[in-house]
Amino acid sequence: MHEQAMNFLFPNDFHIMWSLMIVLYPYITGLVAGAFIVSSLYHVFGRSELKPVARLSMVASLSFLLVATMPLLAHLGHPERALNIVITPHFTSAMSAFGMIYGIYLILVIVEIWLIYRKEIIELAMRSTGFKRWFFAAVALGVYDISDESRAIDHRIIVVLAAVGIPAASILHGYVGFMFGSVKANAFWSTPLMPIIFLFSAVTSGIAMIVVLYIILTKLNSRQIAGDCVQSLAQWLWLFATLTVTLELLEIVSLSYAQDEEWLIVGPLIRDKIAVSFIGIQMIFGSLIPFILLGIVVLMRRYLTDTLRTVISFIAASILLIQVFAMRWNVVIGGQIFSKSGIGFRENYVPELGGREGVGMALLIVTIPFLVMLLFNKFLPLTPPPEGQVDAGE
Amino acid sequence: MSRDTRRNDFTRRDFLATAAKGAGALGLVVFGGGFAFVSANTVKSRTGETIGPFEYDPTKHEYLYLIDVSKCIGCGSCVRACERENDVPRHYFRTLVERYHVSRHGRVYADSPNGGRDGFDAKDIDADITKSFFVPKLCNHCTNTPCAQLCPVGASFVSPEGLVLVDEERCIGCSYCVQACPYGSRFIHPVTHTASKCTLCCHRLSKGLTTACVQNCPTGARRLGDSKAVGDEVVEIIATSNVRLLKPELHTEPKCYYVNCSQEVR
């Protein structure tokens, strides 16, 4: 009786407004930003051991960027008016910056990929006949200069773009976090830590995706997995996952310790309503286990074989991909489970299978980037040219 | 008489007679319509006197809303009136009434079945209840409004008279404003798929009428004021009484004030 009586929702608060699609959106943009950072670690910070994944991470970033708007369109009440955000932006809204940030970032990624693949594109144009030749000649923009000097210039531009891309990727994802963090009406979202948490978890998910993709792709191509590359990725992953989880815990610990009014609703939310997805999946399964696994890879490197380290890294990265998705779920859905009354909870949200905002649509949206990557790989290799053919452009 | 014969009997004289009648009827409609238009603007003002033709200048008004919690009897007339006046879909609310029971130990039992639309049944609570009251709620038409601030396309806006409104033609239905409203005043309309909320009956205000909820409150628990009107009684009460706002810590600067409102109200 008491529990029921205490549960009071504002009458308009019975509906979950932001569905699985809005969980998916920050997840996808996170993968975009994170994958880009991996590429920049190679291009800007000279981590040459990451060369095997530099191209893959750029193309993965672009592939996911292409579908980033899809969950939003599936969610909007009036998707046909979506372009209003770009045409008539209301600049006091964080969301209005979307068009600009997305547009700039898209151009940046496409130009960088074009420069990286320029040599291959020209070679393809010269080798092919008919439509294919015409197509790749158009993609090459009619410039056929692949002299060493020309590639050196390309390389310098790539470094600049990759460097500019770091703040661009940070803004792209930081702004997604800001969209939640700036909603002062919501006790669970409203924290300046939110953009930072989103940013670090984005990098974590991006690196994790590249680890998984690289290992699968190399196995499929029956190539040798570069142990140094996986080892380096595992180290970065360990660092960023640790930072992410620290920040996530810090937010909760601060709320709990300060015993602010927010904790009156956030406490029961975490303990009762999202205990499985937050404590179980996000924290214990998703954070603690990969932390231990990656710790083994990083700290016990000399005692383990390459194969074993690759297997452990693969498992840890896969779990971290689930962890970041769980984090997005807990923020977006968890933040809507309680009413603005501060003393009531809705029924738990279970996404529908079909429909515009259902599980089927989510799977479709996530599948598209992989199809794009497969298509891309048919013409331009996602993995670098075999050793010995060092390209000045990279 | 067959149909053909009837048509043949229709002489030129009949035609002229019918045409004259038609012209007369048309003139009556035009004249009557004009009269109706004038009379629509000749209405009773909030203070009771007949005024008109009414000219409305939004810049000369800034509305305030005053709720006396001690006067609300939870009859739900306001909710039903709002529903009729604004065609509010069922199970969504532009205004609503909440009921609070507070025990001696400060435990709060709140409810609002169907937004208080149909009144309240007696509730059996196994606790030492020391105070009970009804609290009418509506959009606070905040001055520092978070919802209009974060609308990405400017579909949510603040009107010259300080009302927070939604342009249904521009709204993209992203629900961001619904998330941002600390008071649960907004919802996505299930038919139009756009944000919807209390307009403070601006269509009535612009004709010199008061809101449907104020009009239909039998006890005077709800009152409308205008801070730009000279000698406004509601403004005077707000200035001189112990009034409170909802969630003042969020600094949204609501224009909806409460008197005799216990601190348990959220």
Tell which of B100, B109, B135 to mutate to test the A interface (max A CBs under 10 Å). Answer: B109
Residue B3 has pLDDT above 50, yes or no: no
3-state SS of B1-56?
A: CCHHHHHHHCCHHHHHHHHHHHHHHHHHHHHHHHHHHHHHCCEECCCCCEECCCCC
Q: CA-to-CA distance for B156 and B158, rounded, in angstroms?
A: 7
> Residue B145: phi, psi to the nearest 5?
-80, 125
- Residue range B188-207, pLDDT digits in tens: 999 999 999 999 999 999 99
Q: CA-to-CA distance for B185 and B196, rounded, in angstroms?
A: 9
Place of tokens 């009970």: B132
Question: What letter does residue A280 receive in the DSSP assignment?
Answer: I
* Minimal CA separation from A391 to chain B, in Å: 45
Cα dihedral sign for A105, A106, A108, A113? positive
Residue B23 has pLDDT above 80, yes or no: no
User: What residue of B is the nearest CA neighbor of A71?
Assistant: B174
Q: Would you state the pLDDT for residue B92?
A: 96
One-letter amino acid identity for A40? S
Q: Do A81 and B180 touch (CB under 8 A)?
A: no
Which of A13, A93, A179 lies nearest to residue B149, judging by beta carbons? Answer: A93
Q: Would you state the pLDDT for residue B51?
A: 56
Neighbour-count burial of A159, counting CB atoms closer than 10 A to its CB (0-12 exposed, 13-18 middle, 19+ buried): middle
- Residue range B26-81, pLDDT digits in tens: 655 555 544 444 444 555 555 555 555 678 999 999 999 999 999 999 999 999 99
Q: Would you state the pLDDT for residue B44?
A: 56
**Under 8 Å between Cβ of A282 and A326:** yes
Q: CA-to-CA distance for A230 and A210, rounded, in angstroms?
A: 10
Q: Would you state the pLDDT for residue A1?
A: 36
Residues in chain B: 266
Q: CA-to-CA distance for A94 and A283, rounded, in angstroms?
A: 29
Q: Do B188 and A18 touch (CB under 8 A)?
A: no
Q: Would you state the pLDDT for residue A327?
A: 97
Instruction: Indicate the angle between helix axes A193-220 and A51-67, nearest 10 degrees.
Output: 120
Q: Would you state the pLDDT for residue A59?
A: 97
Which residues are CB-neighbours of A199 under 8 A, at least 6 positions away? Answer: A33, A170, A173, A174, A177
**Using 50, 70 and 90 to split pLDDT, how confident is the model at A278?**
very high
Residue B1 has pLDDT above 50, yes or no: no
SS3 (DSSP) at A17 = coil
| B157-166: b (≥16 Cβ within 10 Å) or e | bbbebbbbbb
The whole-number average pLDDT for the span B151-164 is 96
**Using 50, 70 and 90 to split pLDDT, how confident is the model at A384?**
confident
- DSSP-H helix ranges across A182-304: 193-220, 227-258, 263-268, 289-299
Residue B18 has pLDDT above 90, yes or no: no
The whole-number average pLDDT for the span A70-78 is 96
Residue B131 has pLDDT above 90, yes or no: yes
**Under 8 Å between Cβ of A162 and A44:** yes
Extract long-range pairs of B9-18: CB within 8 Å, 24+ residues apart.
none
What is the residue extent of each domain of chain B? 3-40, 58-143+187-259
Place of tokens 């010259």: B160
Domain B58-143+187-259 has CATH 3.30.70.20: yes
Which residues are CB-neighbours of B117 under 8 A, at least 6 positions away? Answer: B76, B79, B80, B83, B93, B96
- First vs last C-alpha separation in chain B: 77
* Minimal CA separation from A2 to chain B, in Å: 8
Tell which of A9, A12, A76 to mutate to test the B interface (max B CBs under 10 Å). Answer: A12
Of A275, A277, A258, A255, nearest to A266 by C-alpha is A255
User: What residue of A is the nearest CA neighbor of B154?
Assistant: A90
Query: Could you give the domains of chain A?
Result: 14-379 (1.20.1630.10)
User: What residue of B is the nearest CA neighbor of A337?
Assistant: B179
Enumerate chain B positions whose Cβ falls within 8 A of a Cβ in A.
Answer: 91-93, 96, 98, 107-112, 114-115, 125-126, 146, 149-154, 170-176, 178-188, 192-194, 250, 266
SS3 (DSSP) at A44 = coil
Q: Would you state the pLDDT for residue A392?
A: 45
**Preceding amide of A167 cis, omega within 30:** no
* A 285-324 → B contacts, CB under 8 A: none
Cβ–Cβ contact A90 with B under 8 A: yes
Which of A8, A11, A96 lies nearest to residue B115, judging by beta carbons? Answer: A11
Q: Which tokens go with A300? A: 């016990």
Q: Would you state the pLDDT for residue A4?
A: 41
> Mean pLDDT across chain A, nearest whole number?
92
- Residue range A149-185, pLDDT digits in tens: 999 999 999 999 999 999 988 888 888 999 999 999 9
Model ipTM value: 0.90
> Which of A145-149, A218-222, A233-237 is most confident?
A233-237
* Minimal CA separation from A104 to chain B, in Å: 18
The whole-number average pLDDT for the span B220-235 is 97
**Using 50, 70 and 90 to split pLDDT, how confident is the model at A142?**
confident
Q: CA angle, A123 as apex, A117 and A126 as ends, to 5°?
A: 140
| A56/B33: higher pLDDT | A56
Task: Name which of A326-330, A345-349, B115-119 the model is least confident about.
Answer: A345-349
